[in-house]
Amino acid sequence: MLYDIPAPAKLNLFLHVTGRRADGYHLLQTVFRFIDLNDRLDIDVRADGRICRETDMPGVPHDEDLVVRAAMALQRQTGCTLGAQLNLRKSIPSGGGLGGGSSDAASVLIALNRLWKTGLSRSELMQIGLKLGADVPVFIFGQNAFAEGVGEDLQAIKLPDCAYIVIQPAQNVPTVGVFQDPDLTRNTVPVKIMDFSGMTLSASSLSDQFHNDLQPVVLKRYPVVRQAFDWCSSTGLDVRMTGSGACLFAEFAQKNDADLAHQKMIAKMHSDFPELLKAEAPKFIQSVSVCDGLQEHPLRNWIES
C-alpha cells in the first residue's frame, strides 16, 4: 500500500499550435512547468485483480475515470493479476488546463509499477500514458520540458526557481471545442528550444514570440473567463492562460512577492465587488492559489530508468 501519493499540476508557460496532422490532431509546441498544487492518491493492492475506485467523480463513470483506465492499461500491458483500490483526493481544478486528470493517471502508473513490481521503464510507462492522453507522458518523464508533436516529444529544460499565482475562473472550458474553433491560429511559426531557454521566463518578459494560441479563442467563447482575465489584468497582474483554459497564472521571482500580490488581489476584489463577501453571490473567480514552481516531478525517482 502507498498513501498520500502526490500528483502535481502543470502550467503551459506558452502554447503554440504549429500545424495539424492528417488525422486531425494538432501539432504543438509548449513548455511544461510542474507546480506544487497536488491531487493526492491512496492505493492499496488487491489480490483479486479488481480495479476499484473509492472516490465518486460526478459525471465520470467508473471505467472512464483516468485513474481506473491507467491501472487497467498497466494490467493489460504487463499481464499482472493483482488489482488496486484507488482513493483520489482532488485539489487541482477540473477543466482548468492544469493537467489534473493526466497527472493522476501518471501517478497511478508510477505507483502501481512499484507496488505490483511490474518493472517497466520510464519510456514504457510513457508509451502507456500517451494512449491515455497527450499530457500524461510529461508527468512520467518527470522533468520540466520543452514539448513538440502532440505533446509527446519531450526535452528536459532547466527553469528558474519562481512562484505563481494560479486563478481558477468560475467556468470550465471543454478542450475539444477550443481546438475545433475556426478562429484558432494553427500556423504559428515553430520556435527552437534555445530561443526560449535563454529568456527570463516571467509572463511579463515573454515577448510576442511566446504566447498561448488558444487564449484568444477561450476569451472570445467564455465570458466568465474573459471577466476574470480582464479583472486580473486591471489589478496589475500580467496573467496568461495555461493549456486550453480556463485557469490563468502570473509568475513571480519570489514566493513572498506572490503572497503579497495575492493579498492585494483579494483586498481589491472585496473592494471592487463587496457583494462577493456574501456566500450566495455569483463569482467569476472560483479560487486563487499561490504555488511554487518545481524543478522535477516528486515521483521522478520512483522509476529506475
Give me the active site residues, please: 10, 135
Cβ neighbors of 60 (< 8 A, separation 6 or more) are none
> Which candidate, 94, 89, 107, places its Cα nearest to that of 7?
107
Alpha-carbon gap, residue 305 to 124, rounded angstroms = 10
Q: Please give the span between the terminal C-alpha atoms of the chain, in angstroms, as a whole number.
A: 22
CA distances from 106 to 18, 132, 143, 183, 302 (A): 26, 9, 13, 32, 12
Q: What strands, in cross-sheet order, belong to the sheet with 285-292? A: 240-241, 248-252, 163-169, 285-292
| 248-252 and 240-241 beta bridge pairing | antiparallel
Give the bridge partners for 285, in sequence order: 169
- Within 10 Å of residue 268's Cβ, how many Cβ atoms? 14
Cell 491512496, residue located: 42
Which stretches of the chain are assigned E, i.e. beta strand? 2-20, 26-46, 51-53, 83-89, 145-148, 153-156, 163-169, 240-241, 248-252, 285-292
